[in-house]
Chain A
Amino acid sequence: MKLERPSLPKPEWLKVSFRLGANQEVATLMDQLGLHTVCREANCPNLSHCYARKTATFMILGKFCSRNCPFCNVHFARPEPVDPEEPAHVAEAAARLHLRYVVLTSVTRDDLPDGGTGQFVAVITALRRKDPSLRIEVLVPDFQGEEMALQAVLAAGSHVLNHNVETVEELYARVRPAASYSRSLTLLRRAKEYALQQSSPLLLKMGLMLGLGETEEQLRRLFADLVETGCDILTLGQYLQPSPAHLPVEAYLSPEDFEHYRQLALQAGLRSVVAGPLVRSSYEADQVFSQVVEG
């Protein structure tokens, strides 16, 4: 079978290096412990780079997602039962990789009564028990707007609450049909309110894909909305089509385009903006956190 070529040729700036064996240690560890990473499940183009740095983004609650978003590489299928060993295994993997900063995400589990909150809390607790000095970033789904779910995750203690709004409001019906722009913004707003009530130094982070047909004016409105929620960190990266069955790329933005939007977002009032064709929401998250905290 001939692999179908994408409609748009890939630009020079989407070239990445691949060194045989560089991925092996992290990949083997994850397999041994029965863990998943979003790096692998989403075919992230930075996998080789990040695994070679001995880092990865843990994806908990199984490898199958209960939502079928047309931009996402993660498999849509009937989700698996929650693994009670997963919290201990994530903590074990973090220790064996000598991670000082852990990024934790999950598939969306609309099928679970608690939306997967309990497992987030269990994993965070296991990580903190194993190493109280760990910095933890959680990249969460919208929990269908359940405020208690969000509060439970925040109460477990993390340093960064990351949530991907993914695209501008005008494209939600096409890109995130099972999600809601206002619900995602409300999640960020509530997280900031919670942090203020608790006098917590929690940072809010949000990720966005470009190249889906959004306009500059729509992005300006989105940046203003984010500032209003109290969002601290924004990541901007190129949307990459996972397969011909997924949404097509409307445009490949150049590194200069990304710098332009980075400047616009900073001017809008965001504290830190990481932008580039290969930037993903958890890409080099440890370094981004350090830069923000240390100024």
Chain B
Amino acid sequence: MKTLRLPPIAPEMKEVILVAWLCEEGEVFHRGEVIYEVETHKSVCQVEADQDGKLLRQLVEEGDCVQVGSELAEIESLPHEA
């Protein structure tokens, strides 16, 4: 099991709002697929998965304010499907 953490989306912003999960608990995701959306002051960022995996548990809810580096979800890595 691995932890999915919030990357630094906008360089000068320490926190953002998680506006939507696009991957539900138990769902498999693939590299390049959007798994969640966060709102910064200037835009809404659709964050793409950087690997194949399965989302085990969401740790924050839609509408939550999230700090850069904090835990978003528990995931399981899956072998990359070409």
Contacts and interface: CB of A to CB of B under 8 A. Distances in A.
A14 B43 contact: yes
Contact of A17 (B15, B39, B42, B46): B46
Interface in A1-19: 1-3, 5-6, 10, 14-19
Contacts, number: 71
| Chain A at the B interface: SS class | loop
A247 to B, nearest CB: 12
B37 A240 contact: no
Given A20-B7, A20-B48, A3 B43 contact: no
B43 A240 contact: yes
Contacts of B45: 15-18, 48
Interface of A: 1-3, 5-6, 10, 14-21, 27, 40-41, 43-45, 47-48, 73, 240-243, 278
A10 B43 contact: yes
Given A17-B48, A242-B42, 18 more contacts: A1-B65, A3-B16, A6-B41, A16-B43, A16-B44, A16-B46, A17-B34, A17-B46, A18-B46, A18-B47, A19-B50, A20-B50, A40-B12, A43-B41, A47-B10, A48-B45, A240-B43, A243-B41
Interface residues of B, number: 24
B46 A43 contact: no
B58 interface: no
Contact of B44 (A3, A14, A27): A14
B17 A43 contact: no
Contacts of B11: 27, 40, 43, 47
B12 A43 contact: yes
B40 interface: yes
Contacts of B50: 19-21
Contacts of A20: 7, 47-48, 50
B9 interface: yes
A93 B27 CA distance: 42
Interface string B19-46: 0000000000000101001011111111
B59 interface: no
Nearest to B50: A20
A19 B48 contact: yes
Interface string B39-68: 111111111101000000000000001000
Nearest to A240: B42
Contact of A43 (B7, B15, B32, B40): B40
Nearest to B48: A19
Most buried by B among A43, A240, A278: A43
